[in-house]
């Protein structure tokens, strides 16, 4: 992004520390106080125009819109055309009635009118949050807020730029933490350290003990050139690393594991802090509100350089000492301290008396900074936990970009992803499950899937900057400069909207309430109030705990019903459904006890799911089994189904639904088998599951994605798949071989347009004739005529023929038929289509044909493909036609054949016999699973194939089904197999 880009917001909120504050007695006029104007609401916003006088207010039209849209472009009108949405049914959710008492407006939400809009974000009325208490920060205004179990901390812009501390139990003001020379722009509570971190417009970061309210650290950015510090984030690894983003467009950090590269210096008296006890009168009124108004001191105060002229004699009359402590806080004994200072204690302490608990002053080195991480002020940082203990830091800036960084343990960032050119500066973040919400300037909220990087939703929620967002379960609460807060559920529906503050809502935080099971949202705003709202945990949350699967198949069937309900068809029309299906599967596997994540596939392709069930410690390296499956399904023509294909239904011992046998049922049978063993403390192997979403479309992007994450998958001893059915209804089977495949498209076209055969018939060389002659030359009644096609076909052995006779006897299919479809190659013409309208009088100018060839051991895939191309071109050239010919191989996969003597194959045979009581039939298949041969080769591990369904399951047809007995016994077979693997 260019530095001259007009979207950069260098002056956004610059006036926070300089503009005169409104008196709490001033109420913004109602709509009725101004001339009537349709859809116009007077809304105070911060003056971003430096040419306007401080204190002036900008008024902008208020449309009240709350809409959401998918990230797919709307194909109507030219790109520059703005769409006027028709009137729809969206209404504000449960807005309270207007209040008659003006003074009461500080305590009650204001009424809003939202025009009806046709929106993808629906209004779902829910329980409105209740305002339980209101706290005053005096004549200043609250810019930041956080809380712990004891206190509420509000960072202020005021005369003293204090941090106001309120008691959680009494809700009375208790203390004022003093020392910042600029407005307190950000607060962060660190639970594991019991630290309160504050950042200010004076360019410093301070760390306070929440036990004693003592100042522990003062941290200065590199070269003291950061300007305002807007955002904070914490990585608890390696002693803890604090990151902060600033006006200088830099991200800096400090690690607290040891001295490190940070320059330490003694704290000066000028920079010292104080804790001021707030005296309370008998009626509980905060006397701070009676103090004079805030000074007009600029927020661009630049801290002086400490100890440029240290006091003579080596000591200071301030709160510092000549021997600052190490950043390793744990090295300081605290046994002599009280667990907490009472009000009386703090009231008696003077600055010098507190010097025995001296703070340490730190300066960030250049090696702990990414200069110009963005091209604008860094307003938002968000730390995100990743699988295997990794951390991501998300940064948002006024340059309208979002960047995702991989955090190094102990400090350090590596850029891994960017989201560019958003419609406004990025001011706030929230993370819900696998989704990242970014609140933007002017009111939009953009939502991305963190696993795939896909932008899945844009929500037009507010008419002003979205300054804060908070998450509780599946709900996201968004707060903005329009004073409103909206609640959006996990389906992106608006379930509540209310006017929370008369001015700007500057910040919000959600914490557990004082009452058992309750939750509170605390907000602070430019109206000088902190408000506490009682909110409820959504009923849909709390599903991430591990499930008990020992109740036979109930959990397995419930999970299958959820998975079948998502139409994960691997085509362009169902990309969003596949994305949702992948995340649902990831959540199911997590609840079953696996460590799971969603992997983004290639651009425009469906994501994959990677999950690992880790076995118990057996005193030696565990075997690692890789299970391959796919969650995508074939389309379902609902008119041909007796029941809804996207709803699991049971009839006469069978389960019906698209994907139930191919391949969602087998996936869950494998997962539940591992979960059962794990819960019984009997899982002695590691089961790695890699589930793709493009198998029905040729496994596009599968190989590249697996290779990219091969280190995460780790070493593999054997590969298992379950992606086919028995040869009949009664005999359990194991598969030991499958044919390979080559798909090709032939195209013949003329220079002419489509012609009329009554006018031009007989006077032109027709592409259709050429195509028929080429196809006729590829095969006849004796077989495929491609030169050398049969030369390398492996001859049958006596053992193989004996197995085929057993299958023939059990299934009733002839031995000759089994040989043809299982161990002989074949050629098929799938379709022929033309450019003509299909009218019998038209000579089409272009004809296409799709052909397929099945190959067997020991035919070489590359040689077959090359010979096919050469022979087709030779046939066409022999016609002497003036038309043009092309051949394109669209997909190919090699054959697969496993060793019948493999211990992994023998273990599978024995496991089937354990459950079904008979030895399984050893079968081959004429079809192809493209990934089997590739996985076997890529991981250097033998593959075994266990079909679970029956021959009548109709995997790609209407009324797809799976016998309930097969599903439950399949789970038992897999439990037995996982147990046997440990002893191989």
Terminal CA-to-CA distance of the chain, rounded, Å? 57
Single out the catalytic residue among 252, 632, 662, 800. Answer: 632
Which residues are bridge partners to 299 per DSSP? none
463: annotated active-site residue:
no
Q: How far is CA 72 from CA 407, 455, 515, 860, in A?
A: 32, 9, 44, 43
Asked if residue 855 lies in contact with residue 742, where contact means CB atoms within 8 angstroms, the answer is yes
936: annotated active-site residue:
no
CB-based burial label for 204 (10 Å; 0-12, 13-18, 19+): buried
Provide φ and ψ at 811, rounded to 5°.
-95, -20
Segments of 559-648 assigned E as strands: 595-599, 608-613, 624-630
Single out the catalytic residue among 235, 695, 717, 909. Answer: 695
Which residues are bridge partners to 392 per DSSP? 384, 406
Distance (Å, rounded) from C-alpha 67 to C-alpha 116? 10
Q: Which two tokens stand for residue 112?
A: 């809003």
Asked if residue 808 lies in contact with residue 818, where contact means CB atoms within 8 angstroms, the answer is yes
Tell me whether strands 943-945 and 718-721 are parallel, antiparallel or unpaired: parallel
Residues 6+ apart with CB under 8 A from 369: 221, 222, 250, 251, 252, 253
Q: Which two tokens stand for residue 711?
A: 């280190």
Q: How many residues would you count in the chain?
A: 984
Q: Which two tokens stand for residue 631?
A: 């969650």
**Angle CA(16)–CA(160)–CA(10) in degrees, nearest 5?**
20
CB atoms within 10 A of CB 842: 15
Asked if residue 153 lies in contact with residue 275, where contact means CB atoms within 8 angstroms, the answer is no
Distance (Å, rounded) from C-alpha 896 to C-alpha 929? 9
Asked if residue 129 lies in contact with residue 160, where contact means CB atoms within 8 angstroms, the answer is no
Distance (Å, rounded) from C-alpha 520 to C-alpha 674? 39
Buried b (16+ CB within 10 A) or exposed e, 927-963: ebbbbbbbbbebbebebbbbbbbbbebbbeeebbbbb
Closest CA to 497 of 487, 512, 505, 507: 487
Q: Which two tokens stand for residue 11?
A: 């002056």
Catalytic residue numbers, as ranges:
632, 695
């Amino acid at each position: 992004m260019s530095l001259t880009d007009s979207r950069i917001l260098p002056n956004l909120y610059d006036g926070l520390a300089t503009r005169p504050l409104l008196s709490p007695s001033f109420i913004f006029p109602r709509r009725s106080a101004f001339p009537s104007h349709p859809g116009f609401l007077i809304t105070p916003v911060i003056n971003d125009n430096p040419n306007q006088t401080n204190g002036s207010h900008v008024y902008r039209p208020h449309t009240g819109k709350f809409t959401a849209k998918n990230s797919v472009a709307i194909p109507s009108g030219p790109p520059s055309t703005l769409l006027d949405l028709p009137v729809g049914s969206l209404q504000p959710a449960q807005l309270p009635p207007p209040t008659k008492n003006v003074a009461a407006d500080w305590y009650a939400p204001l009424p809003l009118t939202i025009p009806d809009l046709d929106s993808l974000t629906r209004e779902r009325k829910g329980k409105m949050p209740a305002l339980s208490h209101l706290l005053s920060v005096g004549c200043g205004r609250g810019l930041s807020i956080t809380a712990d179990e004891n206190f509420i901390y509000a960072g202020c812009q005021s005369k003293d730029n204090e941090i106001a501390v309120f008691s959680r139990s009494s809700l009375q003001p208790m203390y004022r933490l003093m020392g910042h020379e600029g407005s307190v722009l950000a607060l962060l509570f660190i639970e594991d350290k019991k630290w309160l971190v504050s950042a200010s417009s004076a360019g410093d970061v301070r760390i306070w003990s929440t036990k004693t309210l003592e100042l522990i650290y003062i941290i200065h950015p590199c070269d003291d050139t950061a300007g305002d510090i807007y955002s904070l984030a914490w990585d608890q690894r390696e002693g803890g690393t604090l990151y902060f983003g600033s006006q200088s467009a830099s991200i800096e950090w400090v690690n607290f594991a040891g001295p490190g590269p940070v320059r330490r210096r003694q704290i000066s008296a000028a920079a010292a802090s104080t804790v001021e006890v707030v005296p309370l009168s008998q009626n509980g009124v905060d006397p701070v509100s009676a103090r004079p108004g805030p000074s007009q001191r600029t927020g661009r105060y630049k801290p002086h350089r400490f100890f440029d002229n240290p006091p003579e004699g080596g000591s200071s009359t301030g709160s510092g000492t000549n021997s600052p402590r190490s950043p390793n806080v744990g090295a300081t004994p605290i046994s002599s301290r009280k667990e907490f200072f009472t009000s009386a204690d703090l009231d008696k302490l003077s600055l010098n008396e507190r010097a025995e608990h001296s703070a340490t002053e730190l300066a960030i080195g250049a090696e702990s900074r990414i200069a110009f991480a963005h091209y604008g002020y860094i307003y938002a940082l968000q730390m995100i936990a990743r699988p295997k203990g990794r951390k991501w830091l998300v940064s948002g800036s006024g340059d309208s970009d979002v960047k995702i960084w991989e955090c190094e343990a102990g400090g350090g960032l590596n850029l891994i992803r960017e989201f560019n050119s958003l419609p406004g500066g990025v001011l706030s973040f929230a993370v819900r499950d696998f989704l990242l919400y970014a609140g933007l300037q002017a009111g939009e909220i953009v939502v991305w899937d963190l696993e795939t990087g896909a932008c899945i939703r844009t929500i037009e929620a507010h008419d002003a900057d979205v300054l804060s967002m908070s998450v509780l379960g599946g709900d996201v609460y968004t707060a903005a400069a329009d004073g409103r807060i909206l609640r959006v559920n996990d389906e992106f529906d608006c379930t509540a909207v209310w006017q929370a503050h008369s001015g700007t809502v500057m910040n919000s935080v959600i914490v557990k309430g004082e009452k058992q099971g309750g939750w509170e949202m605390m907000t602070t705003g430019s109206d000088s109030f902190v408000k506490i709202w009682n909110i409820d945990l959504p009923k849909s949350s709390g599903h991430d705990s591990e499930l008990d699967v020992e109740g036979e198949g109930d959990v397995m069937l419930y999970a299958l019903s959820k998975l079948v309900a998502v139409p994960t068809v691997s085509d362009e029309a169902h990309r969003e459904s596949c994305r949702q299906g992948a995340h649902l599967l990831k959540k199911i596997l997590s609840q079953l006890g696996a460590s799971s994540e969603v992997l983004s596939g290639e651009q425009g392709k469906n994501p994959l799911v990677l999950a690992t069930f880790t076995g118990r410690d057996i005193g030696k390296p565990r075997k690692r089994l890789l299970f391959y499956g796919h969650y995508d399904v074939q389309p379902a023509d609902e008119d041909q189904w007796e029941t809804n294909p996207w709803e699991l239904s049971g009839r006469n011992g069978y389960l019906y639904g698209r994907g139930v046998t191919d391949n969602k049922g087998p996936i869950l049978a494998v997962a539940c088998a591992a979960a059962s063993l794990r819960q019984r403390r009997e899982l002695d192997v590691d089961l790695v599951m890699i589930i793709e979403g493009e198998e029905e479309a040729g496994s596009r992007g599968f190989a590249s994605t697996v290779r990219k994450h091969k280190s995460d998958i780790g070493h593999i001893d054997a590969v298992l798949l379950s992606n086919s059915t028995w040869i009949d209804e009664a005999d359990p089977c194991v598969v030991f071989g499958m044919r390979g495949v080559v798909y090709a498209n032939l195209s013949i076209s003329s220079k002419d347009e489509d012609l009329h055969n009554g006018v031009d018939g007989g006077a032109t060389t027709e592409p259709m004739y050429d195509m028929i002659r080429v196809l006729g030359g590829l095969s006849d009644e004796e077989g495929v005529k491609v030169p050398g096609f049969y030369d390398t076909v492996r001859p049958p052995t006596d053992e193989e023929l004996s197995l085929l006779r057993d299958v023939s006897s059990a299934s009733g299919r002839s031995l000759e038929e089994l040989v043809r479809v299982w161990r002989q190659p074949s050629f098929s013409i799938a379709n022929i289509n033309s450019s003509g309208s299909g009218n019998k009088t038209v000579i089409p100018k272009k004809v296409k044909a799709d052909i397929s060839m099945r190959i067997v051991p020991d035919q070489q895939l590359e040689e077959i493909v090359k010979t096919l191309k050469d022979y087709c071109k030779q046939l066409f050239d022999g016609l002497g036609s003036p038309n043009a010919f092309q051949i394109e191989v669209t997909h190919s996969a090699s054959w697969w054949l496993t060793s019948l003597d493999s211990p992994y194959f023998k273990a599978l045979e024995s496991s089937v016999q354990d459950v079904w009581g008979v030895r399984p039939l050893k079968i081959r298949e004429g079809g192809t699973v493209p990934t089997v041969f590739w996985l076997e080769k890529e991981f250097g591990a033998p593959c075994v194939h266990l079909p679970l369904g029956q021959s009548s399951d109709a995997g790609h047809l209407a009324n797809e089904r799976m016998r309930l007995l097969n599903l439950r016994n399949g789970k038992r077979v897999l439990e037995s197999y996982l147990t046997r693997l440990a002893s191989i």
